[in-house]
Amino acid sequence: MPSTGNIAGQQHSWPQNVGILGIEIYFPSTFVDQSELEQFDGVSAGKYTIGLGQTRMGFCTDREDIQSICLTVVQRLLEKCNVQPEEIGRLEVGTETIIDKSKSVKSTLMQLFGNNSTIEGIDTTNACYGGTAAFFNALNWVESSCWDGRYALVVAGDIAVYAKGNARPTGGAGAVAMLVGPNAPLVVERGMRGTHMEHAYDFYKPNLNSEYPVVDGKLSIQCYLNALDQCYRVYRQKSDAQAQKEGRQERFTLDNADGCVFHSPFCKLVQKSLARLLFNDFLSDPNPDYAGRYAGLEQFRERKLVDTFFDRDVEVAFLAASKKLFEQKTKESLLLATQVGNMYTPSVYGGLVSFLISKSLADLAGRRVVLFSYGSGMAASMYSLHISQDVSENSPLRRLYENLSDVRTRLESRIKVPPQLFDATMHLREETHHLSPYLCVGPVESLFPGTYYLVSVDDMHRRIYERKSLASPLCGDAMTEFVKKTVPSHQHVENVANGN
């Protein structure tokens, strides 16, 4: 169990080093290869793999929904961290995958906590930002007069699916759970938060009978980059003010961050985002080094941020100028994003997990990581974590790190399915969305051991879940049989939807 230290002695003082004590990630056991999907969709080679930077995309059959994946990731976190149900005092859920307009996902998760009904918190929704809002709520609770000394638990989860077309390859699915409390190995830097919110119709889900969003692609990119600019401006102001307060004359730049992790709608946008931050640094630098980092960029000195969201010359120039920074600070954080896809609310935290598992424990010690979270509509924040320097045996950082040691193994053990099955599965989900009564048909054998799955939905829309045994292996043959039944045509799907 992670240690929160001398909690009794902290009841009347500000809890110290509040942050992430443990973190767990869940992603589906099945994926489609993006290069094969390019061929299936009849688009040019490289459109998804190079243009978007996506390699594989995880997806769920009808056996999984938002509640099942959240049940899975929370149960795994509790088991790995050896936390007892009564030790949780707040449970926050961030998601935009809505299957009930009244009953929260959090209330469904309560079945994991036995007789402990004194758990505060509820669901939070605003596109991909809900997970960060939930995380901030948990942090605020621990640092408030309402904190009773117990842990907070944060869950961010979504199933990202799109209608056929250009947006479909930017889908994905997953969930992240985080244990929050004092004396954490990943400490949230106090007062270091830049937030930007405004009204926009860039991505939204007005049709409650469908899983698919309405997307204005160009506006969405503009909103993301504008929010990035605004959050970085406020974050730098607060960092500079803090430095001045401590007697240091220091301007925050990318050099002050060891890692930069972004919400990832698709990986190429993340690379462009780091380049965008370098452009911000360049414009605000009173004495730009034209012989070094900014060599050849003099022509862009008078450009304005607001006029350059789609300025190809600026983009290309700063992508080139930031290439080394991207390799050093951001590229490793894209492991899960390129292998699983856009997970929506857990996306930025999947980036954090990727960053952590891509380095040695010794290399992580003492690092500062800046995170940018974005949700359409729109809401965004930038904040930072400081990683503990204690890597000793049984240290909190070592325990957190070792609990993530199976992530790569799980990625490599997933089942690749042909694009035809992926397409048929999307059709199955579309036709059976909110169907009642409904008996699920996807193969349970193809799920990871210990996965919660949907059994059925009764005639009152009540959902029944079971958990696959931890001793039951992942079986690719079950998916092969499912392919034989499903791929030849969509008639099987239509029969299921019609109750035949």
State the DSSP code for 11. Answer: T
Check if the beta carbon of residue 153 is closer than 8 Å to that of residue 87.
no
- Sign of the torsion formed by the C-alpha atoms of 244, 247, 253 and 256: negative
Active-site annotation holds for 386: no
What strands, in cross-sheet order, belong to the sheet with 56-59? 56-59, 30-33, 415-416
Please tell me the distance from the alpha carbon of residue 268 to that of residue 342, in angstroms, as a whole number. 12
Place of tokens 């190429």: 268
What is the end-to-end Cα distance of the chain in Å, rounded?
A: 49
- CA distances 101 to 95, 146, 358, 385, Å, are 13, 29, 39, 34
- Catalytic one among 263, 386, 440, 492? 263
- Catalytic one among 60, 70, 81, 128? 128
State the DSSP code for 236. Answer: H
Please tell me the distance from the alpha carbon of residue 417 to that of residue 60, in angstroms, as a whole number. 12
Check if the beta carbon of residue 25 is closer than 8 Å to that of residue 77.
no
Q: Nearest 5°: phi and psi at 299?
A: -65, -15
- Catalytic one among 24, 64, 92, 96? 96
What are the b/e assignments for 322-349, b being 16+ CB within 10 Å? beebbeebbbbbbbbbbbbbbbbbbbbb
What are the b/e assignments for 392-403, b being 16+ CB within 10 Å? eeebbbbbbbeb
Active-site annotation holds for 96: yes
Active-site annotation holds for 128: yes
Catalytic residues: 96, 128, 263
